[in-house]
Amino acid sequence: MDEGIIALVAICLIFGPGLLAVWSRHKQKLLELEIQREQARGLASSSNIELETLKQELAELRRTTTEYDLSIDSHLQQMKQRIEFLEQRTHEMESQQHIRG
């Protein structure tokens, strides 16, 4: 029985460090993969947040552009009406001067 224990201890001493090294390396690789996976999730999440922020900024820019466009259109309409009014008054004044003169 002592020889069996000695043989078992010898086998453990011979192969144990190698098996322990392989097992440790395997665990290290698993941890590295888990860290990479978490980092990828973090990057994807960060990218999604940035994308949503850009979408919101673009929507705000579109709203602002539309407001400015409507404002400019309104001002152009007002200017057109004023010019038409002035042209009409000028025409009337010229007609009255031709009648008098």
Model confidence over 3-27: pLDDT tens digits? 878 887 888 788 888 888 888 888 9
**Rounded Cα–Cα distance for residues 19 and 16 (Å):** 5
**Rounded Cα–Cα distance for residues 75 and 69 (Å):** 10
Of the pLDDT bands very low, low, confident and very high (cuts 50, 70, 90), residue 1 is low
**Rounded Cα–Cα distance for residues 76 and 56 (Å):** 30
Model confidence over 21-66: pLDDT tens digits? 888 888 999 989 988 888 888 777 888 888 889 999 999 999 999 9
- Find the helix or strand (DSSP H, E) in which 45 lies: helix 2-100
pTM over 0.75: no
